[in-house]
Structure 1
């Protein structure tokens, strides 16, 4: 897997380069001070992952990310937490706050590698075969899996795929999040952002920005917040804060 680094701060680019080399063998093809120079590079080069700053001159990282092809994965690196929800709306792989922690970077790269495999020819044929009664039949990695609705903790969408998380499995199938959400019980599963559906029975706690399911944390999108508070909290809390 390869990557590029896009950041308008020279020191930030150097620090990210050193961190990536320290935790992974991912190949760094280049480093760029702004989006236009990176765009020019992408015209003649294939890049798997872009480590992308957000607040940059000319073209912001968010604007740049919205123009990228589906098979290019983005990991945002920024000093500002306020862009996190918007980044997930763009199907970003991860959102790292500066100074970037090595363990968080390693986790983000591992996730990118998982999705790189997901987008490969080997996994493109995975699909949802059927849903019957209280379970789904999933074809994943050339095998069929029966997944009980009650065992699904949450479902993550990435472009034209979903990842279904249970207590001990992570299954990938070729289907968008909207379609699979239509095939599972809406009373139990809530859409909480553009990229996530959660099983309310696994929710431990939540705040105005995130939902916590054991060790897992998923973002709560502004568009879905009011409905989540109405259904899960019975409308007793103010979604605005």
Structure 2
């Protein structure tokens, strides 16, 4: 959903744009303003993603208004004068709509703005600081939830409806779970090597043909898992 403002000193122009905005599901109108100064106040009160602004307005034109903004929302100019188009695009406006504005041109401009809005949102998401790495899980065993540091897990064995977790800090932990469900909780340094085994790459001592050696324990490598395992260890 994009929040938007309408700025125009003509009531009929505002009425038309309000009608257009109401027909577009991804637009939410915050306010219609009759002048740019009123719009400045709204920008201070609300997060505005998109502005539809006329250019020819008394006291403070749409161009002057856009130039005055330190943080610019997406801008679509609306005006009766086509000769302002070049100046509008020089201000990185998304589009330039000449009055009287037909709905098909309005929706085309709105869709263009929405595409840019979504691209910016995706970029911001991808550049955010990643969440703190989770280095432990809780495992239910009998009547308690046991906190288990992931770096202590050596391998996991599937036993029908149960799994057995072998670690280097305590005796093996037996819990009611499937190997597949438990695998989905584990980070990338764990890999399924057999229908009954998941191993920690960090604890592998050696690989001998079709088996893995971890602290003198030999774990088979299933044929269906062998190619992916070899790829992961760089073999």
User: Which TM-score applies when normalising by structure 1?
Assistant: 0.49
Instruction: Tell me what 1:113 maps to.
Output: 114
Alignment of 1:123-162 (within 5 A): 123-124=123-124
1:92 aligns with 2:98: no
Preserved contact between residue 36 and residue 61 of structure 2 (Cα < 8 Å): yes
Equivalent position SS for 1:50: strand
Paired residues, number:
126
3-state SS, counterpart of residue 123 of structure 1: helix
What are the ranges of 5 or more consecutive residues in structure 1 without an aligned counterpart?
Answer: 128-241
Q: From the superposition, tell whether residues 114 and 25 of structure 1 become closer, same or farther in structure 2 (CA, over 3 Å).
A: closer
Q: Is the 8 A contact 2:66 2:72 kept in 1?
A: no
Higher relative helix content: 2
Shift of 1:58: 1.0
Give the secondary structure class of the aligned counterpart of 2:75.
strand
SS at match of 2:56: coil
Larger Rg belongs to: 2
Partner of 2:35: 34
CA contact (8 A) 2:49 2:74 kept: yes
Return 5+ residue gaps in structure 2 as ranges: 128-235
Secondary structure in 2 aligned to 1:107? helix
- Matches for 1:163-202 after TM superposition, within 5 Å: none
* Residues 1:7 and 2:27 are matched in the alignment: no
Q: How far did residue 30 of structure 1 move?
A: 0.3
Aligned CA RMSD, in angstroms, stands at 1.8
**Equivalent residue for 2:57?**
56
State whether residues 4 and 28 of structure 1, in contact with CA within 8 Å, keep that contact through their aligned partners in structure 2.
yes
Q: Secondary structure of the equivalent of 1:55? A: coil
1:21-74: per-residue Cα shift (whole Å, max 9, x none)? Answer: 234441111000000011011112110000000000110000001122445011
Is 1:82 aligned to residue 68 of structure 2? no
